[in-house]
Amino acid sequence: MAITSVPKNSGYILTDDPATPLTSATVAFRDIIPPPDHPKIAGISQHDALSWCQSRREIPAPAWLINRLDAKNLEKPYKGFTSDGTVDSSVYNHAADEGAPVEDMVDAAEKLLAILSPEQLRAVCKATVDDDEFRVWSNPELYMNPGGIRMDESSRDVQQAVHALLKASTSAEGFDKIIGCTLTNGFLGELVNGRAVLNEHSYNFRLFGTPHLTEPWGYTFFGHHLAFNVVVQGRRIVMAPSFMGAEPDRIDVGPHAGLRLFSNEEVGGLNLMRALPPKLQEKAQLSKGMDGDHLPEDRWNPFDERHLGGARQDNRIVPYEGCPVSEFDAEQKAAVMRILRAFNVVLPPGPLAARLSLLEANLAHTYFAWIGGFDLGDPYYFRIHSPVTFCEFDFHCGIFLSNTSPAKCHVHTVNRMPNAGDYGKALLKQWRSSK
């Protein structure tokens, strides 16, 4: 069953679901865990990832999402995420050596490949980073595009080897954040009794190209609330687009009690908006309302909600909107940079420094946009957009939790590199032109 128009809600709504008021967006997640017979989770304990996805195809709204994310609908040819339809890849000029830990990455990748079976190698290894399959990622729990290594179907040795490659590719803080997303996903599985669908290994891994010290290669690691697309060429690395999220945004019991994700982005964005003078707040605020009654159809759906840079948006055109950061004072510009650092913290130290330098150099061409209120209890969305970055933060309605308006316990973040920076395309173009 499928529908062609944008659905009005997630398809799981009951008349007695709590419509978390905008003034109560800080509702405790334990107050909105649905009962076992709620259509959001009914029968989930009897499903694995594939059968759960198939069951969602029988409900019109998720069927719409599954169809949209199907590999057959991948944008071809790839052009790039832009503000006006024109790609300017000249905005990127990678240094010859940005400090990417390519030696450690190659070592970790080769150790992973050495323990894979012939069948796993055939599934996981793709010829080149230019393969369109590189872009077949998604962030829902819906397993509609099987392929590569499915982590929860793999041995403990394979899981550890994939994690070792992630760790070799990222900063210590960034790796902890990645693992935090996986642990929070496992916690969600416990809350809804759906561990075979939602667990700390609900992710797919694919390798593109041959691990090499100077030739380009990369990998994708994606699943529920977590997606990374990594390209490395020599000592230069790109991790974009990426998606990180959590429902709920924290773990409150067990060995990981106290783990909370995205507080730097959440608090940083709100503090910045509240610190702006009224005339700049007015410029930044695109809409006070956050739902489909207040936003155009092409700017809202019940799954992406307000974020525009998610999966299958590789060629999307999003104009600059909101307040120019050039109108901010020095402290407000510094706050923007702190938020951008939080969005890019997964990068190793050298590439992170190079990335932040580029972002700062483009502050005069950067825009800050806001949707929603900005009182302390309000849910909200914000975006930082320039020729070289597109970062989004959004509070969401429940997908597994039962709230029907945005609550602060469900977070999505998106990080893209416009103008063909995504998937290392601009880096690869620069590398090839220099050969």
Spatial CA neighbour of 400 closest among 4, 26, 23, 41? 41
Residue 87's pLDDT is: 98
End-to-end CA distance of the chain: 51
Q: Report the C-alpha dihedral over residues 134, 138, 142, 146, rounded to 10 degrees.
A: 0
pLDDT tens for the 435 residues of the chain, in order? 344 577 666 665 555 544 544 345 778 899 999 999 999 999 999 999 999 999 999 999 999 999 999 999 999 999 999 999 999 989 999 999 999 999 999 999 999 999 999 999 999 999 999 999 999 999 999 999 999 999 999 999 999 999 999 999 999 999 999 999 999 999 999 999 999 999 999 999 999 999 999 999 999 999 999 999 999 999 999 999 999 999 999 999 999 999 999 999 999 999 999 999 999 999 999 999 999 899 998 899 999 999 999 999 999 999 999 999 999 999 999 999 999 999 999 999 999 999 999 999 999 999 999 999 999 889 999 999 999 999 999 999 999 999 999 999 999 999 999 999 999 999 999 999 997
Q: What is the pLDDT of residue 56?
A: 96
Question: Looking at residue 7, what is its pLDDT?
Answer: 64
Q: What is the dihedral of CA 60, 65, 66, 68, to 10 degrees?
A: 120
Rounded CA-CA distance 199/209 in Å is: 29
The SS3 assignment for 67 reads helix
Which pLDDT does position 73 carry in this prediction? 93
Q: Give the separation between CA 101 and CA 99, rounded to whole angstroms.
A: 6
- Domain regions of the chain by residue span: 29-434
Regarding pTM above 0.85, the answer is: yes
C-alpha torsion 102→106→112→118, nearest 10: 130
Q: Measuring CA to CA, which residue among 249, 245, 243 is closest to residue 220? A: 243
Q: Which candidate, 306, 305, 309, 296, places its Cα nearest to that of 80?
A: 309
pLDDT tens digits, residue range 415-427? 999 999 999 999 9
